[in-house]
Amino acid sequence: MNADKLLSEGIIALKPSDSLTFALEMMKQQRVSQLPVVNEKEYLGLLSETDITDSGDTGTFVGSLDLSQSRPFIEENRHIYEIIRTFSSLKLTLLPVLDEEKHYLGAIRNTDMFNRMSDIFAIDNPGGIIIFEVDENDYLLTEIAQIVESNDAKILNLYITSLPQIGKIEVTLKINKIDIGPVLQTFNRYDYNIKASYSEDTYQEGLQERFDAFMKYLNV
């Protein structure tokens, strides 16, 4: 899923002629801490609440502020993983999207992006979660899939976290079975180091905790 498919509805871009008072009101209404400044199709920069408060004069115009040092954006063909990385690294509530000619197309709210992530990661699908570690040299996706499918289950989602300090990979696996006991037993027979597992009930509780932590990290 690319950036041009994730544009949020209702984002009002500011014009250089808008007052800073108007800019603050638009941020409040749209529940964001930044808004893009656009002159026709030209993206000038991202105005933040901090920029406005630091100016000391909310009666002046957006165009009077220097936005040259704050021009984060992402191109329309960038994948959602790059979008997530940009949100996380820059602590943004809003990310402008530009086309190949660097014209402004729209913007993505971090909350809308997270909601779309739930589709990609099969969050709403019932099932169970298994988290385990393997040595980097022993990671075999084909073997993992074979273990799951041998128990009449399917992989809904899988992602890995590299642990280079110990030479291992952490695998988080979601399958379409609520009763994950047989799958866990098979992983144990193959000597996988199971770190945690969640059935439907505990998964929903854990998901809420992860959601709250993620949204706090993005400063929502």
pLDDT tens sequence across 53-73: 888 777 789 988 887 667 899
What's residue 192's pLDDT? 93
Please name the residue that has the structure tokens 């952490």: 170
> What are the residues facing 131 on neighbouring strands?
172, 196
What's the pLDDT tens digit per position in 150-170? 999 999 888 888 888 889 999
Q: Which pLDDT does position 134 carry in this prediction?
A: 92
Please say whether the beta carbons of 174 and 129 come within 8 A: yes
Domain(s) of CATH 3.10.580.10: residues in the chain = 3-118
Q: In this structure, how many other beta carbons lie within 10 angstroms of the beta carbon of residue 99?
A: 13
What does the pLDDT read at residue 46? 93
Distance CA 123, CA 204 (A): 9
The span from the CA of 75 to the CA of 106, in Å, is 11
The two three-digit tokens of residue 56, written as one number? 């000391």
pLDDT string in tens for the chain (220-residue length): 788 888 999 899 999 999 999 999 999 998 899 999 999 999 999 999 988 888 877 778 998 888 766 789 999 998 877 888 888 888 888 999 999 999 999 999 988 887 776 666 556 677 888 999 999 999 999 999 999 999 999 998 888 888 888 899 999 888 998 889 999 999 999 999 999 888 755 545 555 555 555 555 554 4
- The answer regarding whether domain 122-217 maps to CATH 3.40.190.10 reads no
Cβ-contact 186, 152 below 8 angstroms: no
pTM of the model: 0.63
Strand segments, DSSP code E, in 70-167 are 74-75, 94-98, 104-109, 128-135, 155-163
Classify domain 3-118 by CATH architecture.
Roll (3.10)
Q: In the prediction, which pLDDT does 200 show?
A: 59
- Name the strand (E) or helix (H) holding 59: none
Tell me where in the chain the CATH 3.30.70.260 domain(s) lie: 122-217
Q: Report the C-alpha gap between 72 and 36 in whole angstroms.
A: 10
